[in-house]
A and B are shown apart, each in its own frame.
Chain A
Amino acid sequence: MQTDIIDLTAEMARLTAGRIDIGGIGSFVGVVRDTASGRRIASMTLEHYPGMTENALAEIADGAMQRWELQGCTLVHRVGELQPGEMIVLVLTASPHRNAALEACAYLIDWLKTRAPFWKKERFEDGSEAWVDARESDDLAAARWGALG
């Protein structure tokens, strides 16, 4: 978790430092959209549960590391106030083979969206605010992987 802007280049360098055996890196970058339900968003604020968030992300990462042949993975999530267009989440997966990297990346973001204790609040251009509702489609996306781990 960090309040700073996500530095994609720095995270890639950290994941691959000292290694030349990596065949591919899968990536997912989540970005704050400027509209929700047809309304313009001025900013988004991310709240989380310190302590449980770290545990949940470690559990999700362990699940991916056990299931696929990964040489490493990265999960970075912004908290605090974000502006439209900014990166909110970054998932990186390093593997000798692309299928493992891409599938593990999808697994990580699907479980992060349903098991990691983050909550989004949107502030609209008229000054009103609303908590974002969870989506059933996210639960279904995670369920296709079976149990976590």
Chain B
Amino acid sequence: MKILYFAWLRERVGRGQEDIELPAGVTNLGELIVHLTALSPGHASAFAQGKLVRAAVNQVFADPSTPVAASDEVAFFPPVTGG
């Protein structure tokens, strides 16, 4: 599964992109966040402020109940601040 990080989540994880094996039992975005949080101290730091983390699955805004599969592109980022 392709995972992307933007803005301060990218800085805390230490990279903008990574490919992970999707563990059995991870079926939605909320479960994916729990899995990623345990990968490293950087990941834990990135996801520590859960209220400030937004996500997209295949470039569409998603929430913790959104289903995820190994072929998906999942991105994590703070609330947007363009314009």
User: Of the candidates B56, B60, B75, B81, which one forms a contact with A120 in the assembled complex, judged by CB atoms under 8 Å apart?
Assistant: B81
The residue in chain A whose Cβ has the minimal distance to the Cβ of B61 is A115
Interface residue total, chain B, C-beta cutoff 8 A: 16
Distance in angstroms from A143 CB to nearest chain B CB is 14
User: Of the candidates A47, A55, A113, which one forms a contact with B83 in the assembled complex, judged by CB atoms under 8 Å apart?
Assistant: A113
Cβ–Cβ < 8 Å partners of B78 in chain A:
119, 131, 134
CA distance A132 to B80 in the complex (A): 9
Interface residue total, chain A, C-beta cutoff 8 A: 27
* B59:A113 contact, CB within 8 angstroms: no
Chain A interface, >50% SS class: mixed
CA distance A73 to B78 in the complex (A): 28
User: Of the candidates A113, A131, A133, which one forms a contact with B82 in the assembled complex, judged by CB atoms under 8 Å apart?
Assistant: A113
* B4:A49 contact, CB within 8 angstroms: yes
* A119:B77 contact, CB within 8 angstroms: yes
* B82:A116 contact, CB within 8 angstroms: yes
Give chain A interface residues in 104-131, CB to chain B under 8 Å.
109, 112-121, 131
Max chain A Cβ within 10 angstroms of own Cβ: one of B6, B77, B82: B82
Distance in angstroms from B50 CB to nearest chain A CB is 15
Cβ–Cβ < 8 Å partners of A88 in chain B:
83
CA distance A114 to B61 in the complex (A): 12
B30 lies within 8 A of chain A by Cβ: no
Cβ–Cβ < 8 Å partners of A132 in chain B:
81
B38 lies within 8 A of chain A by Cβ: no
A48 lies within 8 A of chain B by Cβ: yes
B34 lies within 8 A of chain A by Cβ: no
CA distance A88 to B82 in the complex (A): 9
Distance in angstroms from B12 CB to nearest chain A CB is 11
B7 lies within 8 A of chain A by Cβ: yes
Distance in angstroms from B76 CB to nearest chain A CB is 11
Cβ–Cβ < 8 Å partners of A120 in chain B:
81-82
The residue in chain B whose Cβ has the minimal distance to the Cβ of A77 is B82
B41 lies within 8 A of chain A by Cβ: no
Give chain B interface residues in 1-53, CB to chain A under 8 Å.
4, 6-8
Chain A positions near chain B (C-beta within 8 angstroms): 30, 46-49, 51-52, 55, 77, 88-89, 109, 112-121, 131-134, 138
